[in-house]
Amino acid sequence: MTSLGFTKGLLIATILAGILAGPIDILADEKIQEWDLINPEGVIKIDPMKLNPHPTSLEGKTVMLRSNGKHNGDKFLIRVGELLKDKVRDIKIIYSWEVAPETVDPITGSQERSKKFAQKLASFKPDLVIASQAD
């Protein structure tokens, strides 16, 4: 070890020893007090949102598969679509990225855009939407 390296090592060891020894004196000497503090967290106010019942069967129904454009989301849903067609009679599958490419956006960014996307997707009148977030 060079003398410069040794000096540096000694300095680091001294600092570490100081830290491990506990709080610095000025804090150790501080008096314990009774405190009355404002809680900075604040309260939450959330109004409940009504969600929709699902169909009891997908037979004869239109199911939209929605990808936000993140990698492999579409590939995952294509396989889901194949399996749905195999398992469910008379099911109609709509791939959102084919019929509404403008709704493909991994980060919608605002509720306003989110609403526009939803309105566009809803215009195809699906009975259910299965959406992949991917990642």
Number of residues located near other proteins, criterion CB under 8 A: 80
| Torsions phi, psi for 14 (to 5 deg) | -65, -45
The answer to the question of residue 89 lying near other proteins (CB under 8 A) is no
The answer to the question of residue 117 lying near other proteins (CB under 8 A) is yes
How far apart are alpha carbons 96 and 128 in whole angstroms? Answer: 12
Q: Kindly write out the interface string for residues 24-63 of this chain, putting x where it contacts other proteins by CB under 8 A and - elsewhere.
A: ---x--xxxxxxxxxxxxxxxxxxxxxxxxxxxxx----x
The answer to the question of residue 93 lying near other proteins (CB under 8 A) is no
Element (H, E) at 80: helix 73-87
Q: Of 2 and 110, which CB lies nearer to other proteins in the complex structure? A: 110
8 A C-beta contact, residue 95 and residue 80: no
